[in-house]
Amino acid sequence: MAVLLDGKRVAAERKANIQARVASLTEQNRIPGLAIVIVGADAASRIYTDRMAKLAGDMGFAVFIKALPAQVSQADLLQVITELNADPAVQGILPMMPLPAHLDADLLAAHIQPDKDIDGLNPLTIGLVAAGKSLAAPCTPRAVMAILDHYHIELSGRKAVIIGRSNVVGKPLIQLLLARNATVMVCHSKTQDLAAVVSQGDIVIAAVGKANLVQMEMIKPGAVVIDVGINEVDGKMVGDVDFTNVAPIAGFITPVPGGVGSVTTTMVLEAVLQGFQ
């Protein structure tokens, strides 16, 4: 049976570090500030905003929530970002996605000052990560790396298979894994014979959004399986991996919930603190 990679434990350890750093900054009257920009009433974004704001507040951060109406104009949205860029009380800007259809997420991303771009959205930030000059990737792929590191999973020279090539998870993971000398393979919706590729992986990271996509037959015995996916099946939250059947043959596996998602919010706070150096 696989060792459970416990995201809550990883988050708890990192939160203790964050709390110590916030305490020492606060003694110097420097309160780290997180700004969350939410447009409209997307239910998932509101839930995430509330969770993020509560955690940040509990950890001693100043939290600024910019809740804008769904009909906000592009110009007014960019003006809010301009003000946050200039605000010395704000070290990190986190916009909730998706935006309403009339707004351009690329324009928004390009408008966030790179040193406050805590979720790795600005093309400059993305380019630096792609060039191997920075590790300031979005928070979810950094959460994956935090779990691998916490459990001392060896990456150098090993085959890592990523399933999914989105800009927020799959693609930045390529760079973070390459930076650690893994041999990286990437699968996506057009990959032929997914099982043949995935079964080569010493480390398999699923970031698709399809319940039970990753089956036991695809996993090399002893492999490390990281499940980023979030799906709802019969009212329950599950990942992309058929956990019941994969766990007995994997070496290590993340649960859903309690895996990657538990670490992501912590990585947001770490990114805010980095902006405070």
Q: Which residues are annotated as a binding site for NADP(+)?
A: 164-166, 230
Q: What is the residue type of 116?
A: K
Q: Is residue 49 a contact residue for ligand NAD (CB under 6 A)? A: no
CB of 152: closest distance to ligand NAD in angstroms? Answer: 22
Q: Does 168 bind ligand NAD (CB under 6 A)?
A: yes
84, 146, 187, 219: residue in contact with ligand NAD (rule CB under 6 A): 187
- Residue among 236, 244, 233, 234 nearest 210 (CA): 233
**207 contributes a contact to ligand NAD by CB under 6 A:** yes
In this structure, are residues 15 and 59 in contact, taking their beta carbons and an 8 Å threshold?
yes
Question: Does 73 engage in binding with ligand NAD (CB under 6 A)?
Answer: no
Site for ligand NAD contains 266 (CB under 6 A): no
> Pick from 19, 113, 191, 200: which binds ligand NAD (CB under 6 A)?
191
Which is nearer to ligand NAD, 100 or 209 (by Cβ)? 209
Which spans in 1-113 are helix H?
Answer: 7-27, 43-58, 74-86, 105-111
Q: Do 263 and 275 meet the contact criterion of CB atoms below 8 Å apart?
A: no
Residue 251, C-beta contacts closer than 8 angstroms, at least 6 positions apart: 2, 3, 221, 222, 223, 224
Return the residue matching tokens 């020492």: 24
Determine the Cα angle at 96 with ends 143 and 66, to 5°.
Answer: 125
Token pair in block for residue 133: 């000059």
Name which position in 113, 134, 166, 183 contacts ligand NAD (CB under 6 A): 166
Query: Closest distance between ligand NAD and the C-beta of residue 213, in Å?
Result: 6
Count of residues in contact with ligand NAD, rule CB under 6 A? 25
**Which residues contact ligand NAD by CB under 6 A?**
140, 163-166, 168-170, 187-189, 191, 194, 207-210, 213, 228-231, 260-261, 264
